[in-house]
């Protein structure tokens, strides 16, 4: 009888300890891994001449992936250059006239100074000075007239320069240059396809660091701060695999528990979203479920 009583007490203590351990072993947050996904689209219209990538490829920032046909743009640029040369030749004739008139104006101003000095020495007349001043006015009017004639030519040259810059910009945008370091998630186009402005070409994301979005209750929020180190666990063949994580963001407003939480009671609770950055060793994937554990727990 005494032995039975001892066994019952031992079983009771074991059950209590087991219950305590079960409470302690509950994670502080559950969620799924995310990554910032960027969709790269065509910035020009035309035939996709080259497009060297496949899903799963790791790309570098500023890497040239391919380009859209630029033959039409190149021909348009050459046509604008020819037009600029033709208009420029007309402008040269007008500019040479202005140069001749400026030379005459310089000579007239010299004569004016000479006559003024002669008048001071009583060796010149007022009529001589009036004649020189009149000649200067005539030359200035001629220069203004030629400049007015040349204004449309100058404006046309400026307009062509602007058009050439626009074509150069379109040619540059025909190059498909990868904007970030990352892994290709999806490919939406193939070489030799006709693409239009805004057509998605591929989707890329930087998977070197993943973000785990978890949801915590208001009572848990007091124990979490931005920059805090936490532990992140995922399912593994041998049980659970642990990663080091750092809290990068905490929502400022509460929201209802998302649908990924299964029980009805938990779905109607107000929670706060938390993002945890985790260095990816290649095992972490977008959408993978994981647990967040605070390192302040006694069982860590």
pTM of the model: 0.66
Q: Model confidence at 297, in pLDDT bands (50, 70, 90)?
A: low
Question: Do 26-36+206-294 and 37-69+175-204 fold alike per CATH?
Answer: no
Q: For 173-185, how does the pLDDT look when each residue is reduced to its tens digit (9 = 90+)?
A: 999 999 999 999 9
Q: What's 26-36+206-294's CATH class? A: mainly beta
What pLDDT does residue 295 have? 83
What pLDDT does residue 20 have? 39
Inform me whether the pLDDT recorded for 260 exceeds 80: no
Inform me whether the pLDDT recorded for 152 exceeds 90: no
Q: Model confidence at 258, in pLDDT bands (50, 70, 90)?
A: low
Low-confidence winner among 56-60, 69-73, 141-145, 265-269 (lowest mean pLDDT):
265-269
What pLDDT does residue 65 have? 94
% of the chain surpassing 70 pLDDT = 84
Q: For 7-65, how does the pLDDT look when each residue is reduced to its tens digit (9 = 90+)?
A: 333 333 343 334 334 444 678 888 999 999 999 999 999 999 989 899 999 999 999 99
Q: What's the fold here for domain 70-174?
A: Helix Hairpins (1.10.287)
Mean pLDDT of the chain: 83
Q: For 233-252, how does the pLDDT look when each residue is reduced to its tens digit (9 = 90+)?
A: 998 887 889 999 999 999 88
Q: Give me the phi and psi of 64, to 5 degrees please.
A: -80, 120
Give domain limits for the chain.
Answer: 26-36+206-294, 37-69+175-204, 70-174
Q: What's 37-69+175-204's CATH class? A: mainly beta
What pLDDT does residue 145 have? 81
Q: What is the mean pLDDT of residues 68-73?
A: 94
Q: For 87-133, how does the pLDDT look when each residue is reduced to its tens digit (9 = 90+)?
A: 877 776 676 777 888 888 999 999 889 888 888 888 878 888 888 89
Q: Model confidence at 280, in pLDDT bands (50, 70, 90)?
A: very high
């Amino acid at each position: 009888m005494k032995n039975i009583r001892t066994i019952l007490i031992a079983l009771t203590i074991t059950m209590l300890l087991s219950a305590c351990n079960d409470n302690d072993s509950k994670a502080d947050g559950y969620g799924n891994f995310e990554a910032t996904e960027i969709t790269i689209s065509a910035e020009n219209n035309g035939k996709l001449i080259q497009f060297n990538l496949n899903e799963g490829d790791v790309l570098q920032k500023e890497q040239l992936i391919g380009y859209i046909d630029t033959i039409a743009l190149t021909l348009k640029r050459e046509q604008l250059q020819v037009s600029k040369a033709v208009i420029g030749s007309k402008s040269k004739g007008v500019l040479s006239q202005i140069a001749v008139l400026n030379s005459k104006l310089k000579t007239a101003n010299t004569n004016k100074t000479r006559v003024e000095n002669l008048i001071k020495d009583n060796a010149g007349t007022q009529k001589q000075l009036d004649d020189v001043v009149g000649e200067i006015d005539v030359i200035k009017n001629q220069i203004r007239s030629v400049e007015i004639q040349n204004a449309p030519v100058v404006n046309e040259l400026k307009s062509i320069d602007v058009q050439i810059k626009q074509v150069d910009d379109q040619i540059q945008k025909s190059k498909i240059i990868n904007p970030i370091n990352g892994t290709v998630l999806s490919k939406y186009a193939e070489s030799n396809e006709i693409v239009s402005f805004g057509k998605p070409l591929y989707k890329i994301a930087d998977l070197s660091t993943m973000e785990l979005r978890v949801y915590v209750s208001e009572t848990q929020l007091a124990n979490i701060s931005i920059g805090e180190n936490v532990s992140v666990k995922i399912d593994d063949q041998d049980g659970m695999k642990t990663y080091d994580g750092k809290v990068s963001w905490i929502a400022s407003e509460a929201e209802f528990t998302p649908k990924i939480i299964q029980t009805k009671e938990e779905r109607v609770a107000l929670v706060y979203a938390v993002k945890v950055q985790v260095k990816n060793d290649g095992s972490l994937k977008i959408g993978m479920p994981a647990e967040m554990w605070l390192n302040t727990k006694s069982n860590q």
